[in-house]
Structure 1
Amino acid sequence: MGKISVVGFSTAEASERILEKLKNFLKEPTVNVRNLSFRISVLGEVARPALFSIPNEQITLTEALGLAGDITIFGRRDNVMVIREENGKRIFSRIDLTQRDVFRSPFFYLHPNDVVYVEPTKARAANADRTNQLIPIVLSGLSIIAIITTRVF
């Protein structure tokens, strides 16, 4: 049969090219071509951030977020970023899931190796700040010292 180049073809087109070559050797060949490296990453404010392997080679942004357990209460639904690499360059697209036109976005259907990042809200960022966690502890300690000194003296 020889080598068959399928670079740049969809799986259906690659299957058709291989099928045409096999017809010279077999009566009724069957060809099944799958992309085993179709993976996406979902990161940020989702319940289960992870790298997902997609078996059917097609997934939408909403399905990917569903696989990751949905956006947490601290995630911004109006600012979900999809990072895609095309022709050696990274493309960043911010998507507002609260708007209807999200379904018409070219980033609604994910491509292999896309990264979906859900940005945290300001409340979550403030929650992660260590100074906000230390202030109550310090104030409690000072209050205890003040109470002890007033009782003793």
Structure 2
Amino acid sequence: MRITKTAISGLAIALAYVASPAIAQTTATAPTAAAKVDQNAAITAFFEEYDAQQLALSPLSKSYRGIKDSDYGRWGDFTNAAEARANDAARSALKEMRARFDPAQLTPENRLSYRLFEKRAERNEAAFKYNDYGCL
């Protein structure tokens, strides 16, 4: 049998559990559980903030969701500059998400949301280069 760092650290953790189970359990599991909760709460807040920013730029999206505020009944900004700003916002949000969150520490639901956001941003980025082709 080959001894690796993982095997040695696993042995050390097992010995710690045997030596003092109550202390070992609280110190070994508490930071991991807290990190997962923090990551999941943080990514949920991240998605909510991104959604709020996108809604602020799109009166049509607000109307579609039934939000009646001062933008109700207005059109959005459909200029090339607005599309470039939206693409830049999606690109920077994707970069921030990848920097802040580790998918391995997320719940399955949040991991799926992470992947969906990532794929949507990548697809939008790939399509944006054809923005000025004018399909009308």
Q: TM-score range by the shorter chain?
A: under 0.3
Higher strand share: 1
TM-score, normalization by structure 2: 0.27
Higher helix share: 2
Structure number with the bigger relative contact order (C-alpha 8 A, sep ≥ 6) is 2
